[in-house]
């Protein structure tokens, strides 16, 4: 099955040995992005708290203290939540990529077998396809 290529299509090299394959999903980068997102939201929360607290306090210094406290509390609640969700999403992405690569390897093997069967007219193509599907189902079970 030929699939269209677009910007969201994963770029995977199908050349070489299957043992050389390295999953392109970087879990460390996902964690860093989660911390960055939580930090950004915390900074915005602290800034808004500072601006609001300024109208109730006598100086920006006191309002800034409230803002820093609000940012710390927001980071305390948002940080673990974002890290947990990032871990789950990155694990799911890794598994999807592994399935995608295995599917492409099976398609490549099947197409090469079909091509060989077309080149070799003595062998029955239907028998080869049935044998191949049986071996695939035995390996997956």
Specify the pLDDT at position 112: 81
Distance CA(34)–CA(39), nearest Å, equals: 8
pLDDT class for 103, splitting at 50, 70, 90? confident
Lowest mean pLDDT among 8-17, 65-74, 101-110: 8-17
Cβ contacts of residue 93 below 8 Å, gap of 6+? 25
CB atoms within 10 A of CB 42: 20
Specify the pLDDT at position 119: 66
Cβ contacts of residue 42 below 8 Å, gap of 6+? 71, 72, 74, 75, 78
pTM over 0.85: no
């Amino acid at each position: 099955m030929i699939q269209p290529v677009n910007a969201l299509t994963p770029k995977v090299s199908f050349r070489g040995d299957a043992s050389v394959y390295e999953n392109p999903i970087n879990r460390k980068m996902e964690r860093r992005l989660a911390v960055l997102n939580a930090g950004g939201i915390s900074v915005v929360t602290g800034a808004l708290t500072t601006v609001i607290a300024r109208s109730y306090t006598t100086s920006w210094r006191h309002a800034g203290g409230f803002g820093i406290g609000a940012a710390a509390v927001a980071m305390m609640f948002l940080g673990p939540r974002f890290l947990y969700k990032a871990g789950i999403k990155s694990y799911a992405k890794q598994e999807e990529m592994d399935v995608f690569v295995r599917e492409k390897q099976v398609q490549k093997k099947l197409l090469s077998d079909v091509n060989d069967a077309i080149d070799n007219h003595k062998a029955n193509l239907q028998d080869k396809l049935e044998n191949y599907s049986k071996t695939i189902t035995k390996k997956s079970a």
